[in-house]
Structures are given as C-alpha cells and as structure tokens.
Amino acid sequence: MELIEKLSRMFAKRLKELMKERQLSVSGLSRETGLPRTSISNWLNLKRTPMIDALYVLSNYFEVSIDYLLGRVDL
C-alpha cells in the first residue's frame, strides 16, 4: 500500500472516530467547520485526500494535531 493511500485510510478512520465522539454527521461537521459537505464525504469514502488548510481547520476544531489525524501519533 502506498504512503498516500495509507495516510488517507488512517485519516478517514480518525475523522470517523472524532465525529462519532461528538455525535456529528457529515452535514453537522460541515456546519461547524465551514468545510464543504461533499469534501468531508469524499475524504471519509477515500475518494479524495484533504488539503493542508482542511487538515488545519479539523485539527483546530477537534483540538488534535495534524499528525494525529494522519495516524503519525496517538493521543
């Protein structure tokens, strides 16, 4: 598995976990962060990878590091 695919899978897994903890749907996360609903859905379904600005917004919103979102570190 190539690195980008591995990071994308881990990102989707961590994002799903964080959303579940806060009981957020894709639409709810979109409302809370201002990120497009379709982008969030595409990340969760491994159709796209997030840009750095989206990672920044998500890390701030969930109060975790970008490294955590990408699976490079644990909490």
Distance separating alpha carbons of residues 63 and 66, to the nearest angstrom: 10
Angstrom distances, CA of residue 16 to CA of 2, 39, 40, 43: 21, 14, 10, 10
Identify which of 17, 13, 59 has the alpha carbon closest to the alpha carbon of residue 35: 59
Q: pTM for this one?
A: 0.92
* Domains (range + CATH), the chain: 3-69 (1.10.260.40)
List, as one string, the DSSP characters of 20-42.
HHTT--HHHHHHHH---HHHHHH
Residue 13 has pLDDT above 70, yes or no: yes
pLDDT one-digit tens code per residue, 23-36: 999 999 999 999 99
